Structure 1
Amino acid sequence: MVAASISSSLKYLLRKPYTRQVPRIDKPFKTPVTRGSHVLDMLKCTGCSMCQQVCPANAIDMVTADGDYQQNPRKRFPRIDLHKCTFCGLCVEYCPFNALSMTTATGYELFTVDKSTLLRQPVELKLLPNASITITKTYFTLPYSKSYQQGPGDKEVS
């Protein structure tokens, strides 16, 4: 019994280790509508927090940034935690000023060993990577909803 376990241990001890390279050399397949890393146009952002409100993963919070931005007097901009982000694109879709867009940079390009680098500050989000695309409003169709005014008679607002 002891001899069998020793021979089994020696067999694996003398074997060469097996290591698979991660990430792999070949890049993943991407489509024209691949959603990846975010890009923020700080000159368009008004700090309305709409992106934060629609994020289903709570990956966006608003922080202050240094600089002179006339359209954003409170200097509040989105900070995105890519570790929480599901890359659904709702923040881009609901941004009323088209300040947020997404690139084709996916997991292969965003690979990191340090988790703290996945928290993207507004200054880091404004840097435009190579091969960026903007997800336009034509990729999503929002359901039609009727709004009603609160009060006597509940009149429909068009």
Structure 2
Amino acid sequence: MKKGIFLLLLMVLPLLGLAHPFHSSVGECIYNAKEKTWEISIRLFQDDLEQGLSAFTGTRFVFQEGPQTDKVLDAYLRKHLGVQVNQQLTTPYRYLGWEAVKDVIWVYVEIPTEQNLKGMFWENSLLADTFPDQTNLFHVARGEHKQSYLFQSTKWIQVFE
């Protein structure tokens, strides 16, 4: 029940133009059998992401079209999203880009592999160093098998089942 209310708030608050009382992202990782890739999309509030990227770069960051935005966003993702191997973050994905939709930024990456992600240690600490209450909901699906993970301050790294 709480998860349903949380997801409803994630969808409704941006439409109302209200400041959100929490800091969260929602991502999904879906296997595309035809392309043999894992397609990842992540939805973040633009104002939160700009604040996080400003802290990351040390200068005020504002989203705008151009290679500099892609460069900063790709570097930030590679610091906070990926697979943990021997306690080192690796990023076996290709950065594809981003798009702004109202006050939300969608980020897209892909992992070109047929391998199952089961047993991999994933880190998703996006915006964790900017917002202590940050949570990152992440859905993984391959065929009929679906699993959701909640990354938060007590658990930024999780094993995919």
Same fold per superposition (TM over 0.5): no
**TM-score between the two structures when normalised by the length of structure 1:** 0.31
Of Structure 1 and Structure 2, which has the larger fraction of its residues in strand? 2
Structure number, greater radius of gyration: 1
**TM-score between the two structures when normalised by the length of structure 2:** 0.31
